[in-house]
């Protein structure tokens, strides 16, 4: 990913994350108008309706964002620590300057709005999703589930090759109808208003979505957080899910392993995993606070685009193969 493309992805995530907060800026809402409707377009009108959707973040949100970036206050940094303690100060200053002065969110809206997007209400939440159908007869439905920190943007570059593989050097018989939802609480989908939206419950939302789209058989792929959701989807909907593909398998087995017949020898132990460079705990601090005290962290990230960008870019730096140069990613 080039310097510009990588920044487009990171800053796009931040703009999407700030859009709900910013929807409250600069205007008075009527009693029937929610902040989400103001910033994100018309929500699904009835329980089973699937309504077209276009991304449009209000001018007031973007203006407020620029003002906050102009007033950004950076933390101090020890000499020559690089990224050892988190996001590098010099890099963050350069990124914020680019975001404030050169980043064109409207261009990203136009790029994303070239895809067919919709909203529908599932379990009381308006769910946003891309549904890009292939023109190839008998294309296979494919549900793509992203992780964190990510969004529908994670899969935007593969929509074309998946829906029209022949135009990208592939075979027409390998075409897919692509469904890319914003998970509850992500992007342009509603945030849950109750506890318990774990991967298993999210999987239930996608079972209903694929049924509502009329797909009797479909495939799914998951990355990061989407791995757990996709795995629960396979356990929950085996009659309709034809194949499961995962971008990695972190953690333990989800669900119960099959029982071993009486008298059968135990399975051989798995091969040892390769050593992990550095302590694993060094990159899991975010997980502890997001798992235990998300509200505390959320107040700061919702109010500060500088803080949100720093929080996200630290993960990109930690989790990507960049050989010391993040601009190579």
In a domain, 267, yes or no: no
> Is the domain of 218 the same as that of 110?
no
Q: Which residue, of 198, 233, 250, is where some domain finishes?
A: 250
Say whether both 165 and 244 belong to one domain.
yes
**Nearest CA to 52 among 110, 112, 118, 127?**
118
The tens digit of pLDDT for each residue in 174-192 reads 999 999 999 999 999 999 9
Least confident of 73-77, 159-163, 197-201: 197-201
Asked if pLDDT for residue 142 goes beyond 90, the answer is yes
DSSP string, 192-257: PSSS---HHHHHHHHHHHHHHTT-SSEEEEEETHHHHHHHHHHHH-TTTEEEEEEE---SS-SSPP
| pLDDT, tens only, 56-78 | 999 999 999 999 999 999 999 99
Report the predicted TM-score, pTM, of the whole model to 2 decimal places: 0.83
Same domain, 137 and 199: yes
Sign of CA dihedral 229, 231, 236, 238: positive
Predicted local distance difference test score (pLDDT) of residue 45: 52
**Of 232, 250, 268, the domain-final residue:** 250
Mean pLDDT calculated for residue range 287-310: 94
- Position 268 scores a pLDDT of 79
145 and 213 belong to one structural domain:
yes
- One domain for residues 321 and 213: no
Specify whether 132 is located in the same domain as 197.
Answer: yes
Number of C-beta neighbours around residue 74 at 10 A = 12
The CA dihedral of 147, 151, 157, 159, to the nearest 10 degrees, is 90
Instruction: Answer yes or no: is 28 within a domain.
Output: no
Contacts of residue 148, defined as CB under 8 A and 6 or more positions apart, other chains included, come to 224, 225
- Examine residue 120 and state whether it is found in any structural domain, yes or no: yes
Residue 67 lies in a domain: yes
Whether 29 is covered by a domain: the verdict is no
Same domain, residue pair 196 and 285: no
Tell me the residue range of the domain where 240 lies. 116-250
Sheet arrangement for strand 50-52: 50-52, 117-122, 125-132, 176-181, 140-145, 218-223, 241-247
Same domain flag for 94 and 128 = no
Judge contact between 126 and 120, C-beta under 8 A. Answer: yes
| 239 phi, psi to nearest 5 deg | -70, -20
Establish if 131 belongs to a structural domain: yes
Least confident of 30-34, 75-79, 175-179, 276-280: 30-34
272 in any annotated domain? no
Quick one: 244 and 172 in the same domain? Answer: yes
Beta bridge partners of 219: 142, 243
Q: Are residues 188 and 226 in the same domain?
A: yes
Out of 91-95, 113-117, 143-147, 321-325, pick the least confident. Answer: 321-325
What CATH number should be reported for the domain holding residue 179? 3.40.50.1820
Alpha-carbon distance of 46 to 120, in angstroms, equals: 8
Mark which of 250, 268, 288 sits at the end of a domain.
250
* Together in a domain, 128 and 59: no
Q: Give how many domains the chain has, as a whole number.
A: 2
**What pLDDT does 229 receive?**
95
| 123 and 192 both lie in a single domain | yes
Q: Coil, helix or strand for 104?
A: coil
The reply to whether 11 falls in a domain is yes
């Amino acid at each position: 990913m080039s310097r510009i493309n990588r920044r487009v992805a990171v800053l796009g995530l931040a703009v999407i994350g700030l859009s709900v907060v910013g929807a409250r800026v600069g205007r008075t809402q009527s009693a029937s108008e929610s902040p989400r409707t103001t910033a994100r377009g018309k929500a699904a009108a009835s329980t089973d309706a699937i309504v077209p959707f276009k991304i449009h973040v209000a001018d007031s949100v973007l203006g407020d964002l620029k003002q906050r970036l102009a007033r950004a206050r950076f933390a101090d940094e020890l000499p020559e620590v690089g990224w050892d303690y988190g996001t590098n100060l010099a890099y963050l200053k350069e990124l914020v300057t680019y975001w404030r002065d050169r980043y064109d969110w409207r261009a990203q809206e136009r790029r994303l709005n070239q895809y067919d997007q919709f909203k529908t209400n599932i379990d009381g939440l308006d769910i946003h999703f891309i549904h890009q159908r292939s023109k190839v007869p008998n294309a296979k439905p494919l549900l793509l589930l992203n992780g964190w920190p990510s969004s529908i943007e994670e899969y935007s570059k593969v929509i074309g090759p998946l829906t029209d593989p022949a135009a990208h050097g592939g075979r027409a018989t390998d075409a897919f109808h692509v469904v890319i939802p914003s998970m509850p609480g992500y992007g342009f989908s509603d945030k849950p208003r109750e506890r318990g939206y774990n991967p298993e419950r999210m999987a239930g939302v996608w079972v209903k979505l694929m049924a509502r789209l009329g797909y009797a058989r479909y495939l799914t792929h998951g990355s990061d957080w989407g791995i757990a959701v996709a795995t629960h989807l396979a356990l929950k909907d085996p009659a309709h899910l034809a194949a499961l593909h995962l971008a990695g398998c972190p953690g333990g087995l989800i669900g119960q392993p099959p029982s071993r017949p009486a008298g059968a020898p135990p399975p051989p132990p798995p091969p040892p995993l390769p050593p992990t460079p550095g302590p694993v705990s060094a990159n899991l601090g975010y997980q502890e606070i997001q798992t235990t005290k998300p509200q505390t962290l959320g107040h700061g990230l919702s109010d500060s685009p500088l803080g949100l960008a720093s929080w996200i870019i630290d993960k990109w730096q930690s989790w990507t193969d960049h050989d010391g140069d993040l601009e190579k990613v």
